[in-house]
Amino acid sequence: MLDAMQFLNCAWLLSQSGTVGNRLARVLEKEGQAETARNTLALAVMAGGGEVSESRVQLVKLSSTPDVAEKKIAAANSELLQARTVKFPALVSGKASAQFALVFDTSSKPERAEWLEGDENLRPVADKLREKEYPVKFPDVSSVKIIRRGTLSCDGSACALVLLPLEGLQSSH
């Protein structure tokens, strides 16, 4: 069961897929982690996918009231975004944004960060992006590389990089 949870946790961090979230919540529930299972189900509902109604029904069943379940779901959207966001001090003056590709190789710190498009004055900050840890987790030691796209937005006083969800792992149902 621990191996399954380890792989599901890694898949959930990477994809934020509602289907993966539902599977992870089931394992957490079986492991006696009811509160974490409820939170994961709320996140799975907001993440979408083919099992939204199943996740919602299970969340209501595990919650004290339907209102408690709905409050968890309402809070889940900002939690999903926050889980994909890495904050930085101001990297440039003024407002700017750009897309970057981050390449991870068995570490939560990217081995490479490449500017893709956007404000040119953010192109040189790629090295700064490599200094932070990101919500990317590998289930075991492997030679797999993970490439994530993210949008870096700066407002003059701070910057934040938001990793984009992996479209290939999202369900279209």
Render pLDDT for 69-125 as a digit per residue (tens, 0 to 9).
999 999 999 999 999 999 999 999 999 999 999 999 888 999 999 999 999 999 999
Percent of the chain with pLDDT over 70: 92
Per residue in 8-58, pLDDT (tens digit) is 988 888 889 999 999 999 999 999 999 999 999 999 999 988 889 999 999
Count of CB atoms within 10 A of residue 137's CB?
16
How many angstroms separate the Cα of 167 from the Cα of each of 38, 74, 85?
25, 23, 17
The last residue of one of the domains, among 68, 83, 98, is 83
Same domain, 123 and 93: yes
Structural domain count, the chain: 2
Which domain, by its residues, includes 71? Answer: 2-83
The last residue of one of the domains, among 20, 49, 83, is 83
The model's pTM is 0.81
Per residue in 46-63, pLDDT (tens digit) is 998 888 999 999 999 999
Same domain, 65 and 103: no
